[in-house]
Chains A and B, each alone.
Chain A
Amino acid sequence: MVKTNKASLLEIGVIGEVTHASVEVPYTTGWDGKPTVSMGRGGIVYNVKPGDPCFGWAWGDKVEPGVSLDGVGSDNSKGSFRNFSCVGNTAKVVNGEAKGGAGFVVGKVGYIPGGGHHVVAHFDNETLEKLAIGDKVQVRSLGVGLNFSDHPGVRAVGLSPQLMEGMGLDESKGKLVVPVTKVVPAEYVGQGSGGAPSEASNWDLMTQSPDAVEYLKDLRLGDLVLLKDILSAWGRGYYEGGSTVGVVSCGASDRLGQGIGVTVIMTCREGELLPKLDADANISSYLAMGGD
């Protein structure tokens, strides 16, 4: 059993609402200059869930599985929703026809200042059918401030105890062993660099260069991955010897420097996190999501 300060964590209600499907510009420009109508960001995506592929959706660009939420009201209250919601936290619909429907936070996506931010949540199909854009969803935030008592060099970043306890963490020779589906080299890690705080939004794995696409093609939404030489402690950046563990939270992109979203859950400077390759390391196996 990995020792943590779980008993000291504050559990806080934060509220968001179901966003509209996002159309940033009428046509987006791909890396090769080709225009497209990008879709799959924001709103309710009925037929994509954690466990589904990152690539291959028609005109899909950074496809977010399930329901995309954002905070409401002042910048402060939006900030609390974006920064305090942790992957694995429970989410409950609090108004509308789907009232009472329960789900999970499965990722956080966003980067460009002022360009929007989504907390991505999974709900079962029955709840999805009743949900409407604008419905309010309350998340029971639990996880900010989590630390590992025996691993002071590891910083948990928006990691919920629910996910932490389900993901099969282990310890070996003083290191924390994390099951992941893939170890990703820093050269494929793009947008998200320079962003802060690490608790909100995501890294992108760039999906334009053929070698990167080949390496990343099997990734599924919800996969756990380790980004090599990437530090996400107080903002996101390159750091030789560091690592970042994250959850794949949105699909591939044709836009240069952008791609598969990875929401940070843990990071370290000096190799305190050790990856263990496991093809089943996906949050759909770790969280009791129920239904389909």
Chain B
Amino acid sequence: MLRTNRDKLLIMAVQGEIVSPSSSTYRAQWDGQPKLALGMGGIKYNLKVGDPCFGWASGDHVEPGVTIRGTEKPNPSDCALAILACIGNEAVVVSGEGKGAKGVFTGRHAGADDIVYFSQGDLEKLAIGDKVQVKAVGAGMELLDYPDIRVNKCSPRLLDSLGVEEKGGKLVVPVVKEVPGFLMGSGIGFSSNTEPVDYDIQTTDPKAVKKYGLESLRLGDIVSLKDQLCVNGRGYYKGAMTIGVVIHGASDYAGHGPGVNPILSTMEGRLDAKIVKKANIADFWGLK
């Protein structure tokens, strides 16, 4: 049993509102072609964690389920929701027709968006502008026998679901894919805060997408990032290892791609990944 300080974690309410889908004028793809992108913000009735990262018509950075944002500060990234909510936390609708519906927090997308799963039945009742409250627990979590491993945005529920093993002084985490560090792009460096920011597995180069088998990635997948350190920000560090959750879909913009929220990271080689066929939060928690 992995020893943690979970009995000392504060459990706090943080809140956001369901936002309108993002929309903008055409933006240049990596190859110069224009694109009218969709899939960020709003309520996606037919896109959930467990679904593919690639292939959605005109989709770019698609966010599964419902997108909410904190509102108590001008920048959603500075709000308590963005910083304290952890993947696996329980969410509940607190206004509107869907009041009382329960969901799961599934990730934070750096620009502005916090992402929540609700069942199909509950989605039908939700409206843009409804308030969603998350019972935030996980920030401050420590692995008592692995003090070098930084835990980030990981609820106790997620930690318990990962199926980690302790082997030869290392923590071994099942993942669906190991991503080479040089593929990590947008979001890298961005800020010294680890919590409110994801960063992207770059899908600019179709050759690289094929070579590293990225097409099979699903929203909610657990992946490892080689030579990547996410302790105070995100960046390259030889020998470091980061485990993360895929929180949004692929992109045609240069330097962008499926977004990853780091959940475990160390520079000291005490973290290892084991490739498995399935490691996805939708499967862990039966989210359909």
Which residues of A line the B interface, CB within 8 A? 28-33, 111-113, 185-197, 204, 206, 208-212, 229, 231-242, 255-258
Cβ contact of B31, chosen from A33, A185, A234, A236, cutoff 8 A:
A234
With a cutoff of 8 Å between Cβ atoms, the chain A residues found around residue B232 in the complex are 29-33, 256
Q: How far is the CA of A31 from the CA of B207 in the complex (A)?
A: 32
With a cutoff of 8 Å between Cβ atoms, the chain A residues found around residue B230 in the complex are 256
Taking A190-B235, A209-B236, A233-B254 as contacts, is the C-beta distance between A240 and B190 under 8 angstroms? no
Contact B188–A238 (Cβ < 8 Å): no
Contact A33–B256 (Cβ < 8 Å): no
Cβ contact of B233, chosen from A211, A233, A236, A257, cutoff 8 A:
A257
Most interface-central of B29, B111, B211, B254 (chain A CB within 10 A):
B254
Please give me the 4 A-B residue pairs with the lowest Cβ-Cβ distance, nearest first: A194-B186, A191-B189, A257-B189, A257-B235
With a cutoff of 8 Å between Cβ atoms, the chain B residues found around residue A30 in the complex are 192, 232
Cβ contact of A257, chosen from B31, B182, B234, cutoff 8 A:
B234
Most interface-central of A112, A233, A238, A240 (chain B CB within 10 A):
A238
Q: In chain B between 220 and 238, which residues have their CB closer than 8 angstroms to a CB of chain A?
A: 227, 229-238
Looking across the interface, which residue of chain B has its beta carbon closest to that of A27? Answer: B192
Q: How far is the CA of A113 from the CA of B202 in the complex (A)?
A: 19
Contact A234–B227 (Cβ < 8 Å): no
Contact A208–B186 (Cβ < 8 Å): no
Contact B189–A196 (Cβ < 8 Å): no
Instruction: Kindly provide the distance from the CB of A228 to the nearest chain B CB, expressed in whole angstroms.
Output: 10
Instruction: Kindly provide the distance from the CB of A184 to the nearest chain B CB, expressed in whole angstroms.
Output: 11
7 A-B contacts (beta carbon < 8 Å): A187-B181, A187-B227, A194-B255, A209-B240, A233-B32, A237-B255, A256-B230
Taking A231-B30, A237-B205 as contacts, is the C-beta distance between A193 and B238 under 8 angstroms? no
* Interface status of B196 (Cβ within 8 A of chain A): no
Looking across the interface, which residue of chain A has its beta carbon closest to that of B180? Answer: A187
* Interface status of B191 (Cβ within 8 A of chain A): yes
Instruction: Kindly provide the distance from the CB of B228 to the nearest chain A CB, expressed in whole angstroms.
Output: 9
Instruction: Kindly provide the distance from the CB of B238 to the nearest chain A CB, expressed in whole angstroms.
Output: 5
With a cutoff of 8 Å between Cβ atoms, the chain B residues found around residue A33 in the complex are 231-232
How many residue pairs link A and B with beta carbons under 8 A? The number is 151
With a cutoff of 8 Å between Cβ atoms, the chain B residues found around residue A194 in the complex are 185-187, 200, 202, 253-256
Taking A194-B200, A256-B229 as contacts, is the C-beta distance between A238 and B183 under 8 angstroms? yes
Q: In chain B between 170 and 217, which residues have their CB closer than 8 angstroms to a CB of chain A?
A: 181-192, 200, 202, 204-205, 207-208, 211
Contact B238–A237 (Cβ < 8 Å): no
Interface of B is mostly: loop
Contact A209–B202 (Cβ < 8 Å): no
Contact B236–A238 (Cβ < 8 Å): no
Most interface-central of B202, B231, B232 (chain A CB within 10 A):
B232
With a cutoff of 8 Å between Cβ atoms, the chain A residues found around residue B191 in the complex are 112
Contact B189–A256 (Cβ < 8 Å): yes
Q: How far is the CA of A209 from the CA of B240 in the complex (A)?
A: 9
Q: How far is the CA of A228 from the CA of B285 in the complex (A)?
A: 42
* Interface status of B28 (Cβ within 8 A of chain A): yes
Instruction: Kindly provide the distance from the CB of B136 to the nearest chain A CB, expressed in whole angstroms.
Output: 22
Q: How far is the CA of A195 from the CA of B255 in the complex (A)?
A: 7
With a cutoff of 8 Å between Cβ atoms, the chain A residues found around residue B255 in the complex are 192-195, 235-238
Contact A187–B236 (Cβ < 8 Å): yes
Instruction: Kindly provide the distance from the CB of A193 to the nearest chain B CB, expressed in whole angstroms.
Output: 4
Q: How far is the CA of A114 from the CA of B109 in the complex (A)?
A: 17
Contact A238–B205 (Cβ < 8 Å): yes
Taking A187-B236, A237-B204 as contacts, is the C-beta distance between A196 and B253 under 8 angstroms? yes
Cβ contact of B192, chosen from A113, A193, A240, A256, cutoff 8 A:
A256
Instruction: Kindly provide the distance from the CB of B34 to the nearest chain A CB, expressed in whole angstroms.
Output: 10
With a cutoff of 8 Å between Cβ atoms, the chain A residues found around residue B253 in the complex are 194, 196, 235, 237
